[in-house]
Amino acid sequence: MTDREYPTRPFVGIGIVVIRGDEVLLCRRGKPPNVGSWTLPGGAQDVGETCEDAARRELHEETGLTVGALHFCAHVDTIRRDHDGRVRFHYTILDFAARWEGGEAVAGSDVSHVEWAHMDRLGPYNLWSEAHRIIGIARGLVG
């Protein structure tokens, strides 16, 4: 059991959608949870850190990239219950969008691979439905 299982409060997660033309930056998770699955860059917000600072830090740690202006996209609540109905995990994820400005994305901490994926051909990545929704919102904001 991790320190985030059976929490007494939600944990704040931060996601960032980076768009380059018709492509979006995806990361393959290299650590639990969901090792091997494709997702948007992001992670946990630290105490004393603003949401935007967390988005920039996570993006840089996971991909080596920096971006300019951030735009708030949407939030996602993910609550997973155990077989008894108790809340096992509870995350509130705040997603931001940014336009790629330059640099080469490389896999960093917590990810095993980074890839620019065409936004109209995301099927092979088996993304969570919420990731598709967030990418669509981000595309309207910065695409």
CATH of the domain at 124: 3.90.79.10
Per residue in 57-100, pLDDT tens?
Answer: 999 999 999 999 999 999 999 999 999 999 999 999 999 999 99
98 within a domain of the structure (yes/no): yes
What distance in Å separates the CA atoms of residue 57 and residue 85, rounded to the nearest whole number? 35
pTM of the model: 0.92
35 within a domain of the structure (yes/no): yes
Tokens matching residue 80: 């997973």
Cis peptide upstream of residue 33 (ω within 30 degrees of 0): yes
Q: Looking at the 3D structure of the chain, how many domains does it have?
A: 1
What distance in Å separates the CA atoms of residue 92 and residue 46, rounded to the nearest whole number? 14
Per residue in 16-42, pLDDT tens?
Answer: 999 999 999 999 999 877 889 999 999
Does residue 52 surpass a pLDDT of 70? yes
Tokens matching residue 13: 């997660």
1 within a domain of the structure (yes/no): no
81 within a domain of the structure (yes/no): yes
Q: How confident is the model at residue 8 (pLDDT cuts 50, 70, 90)?
A: very high
- Nearest CA to 5 out of 84, 80, 88 is that of 88
* Domain of residue 17, residue span: 11-142
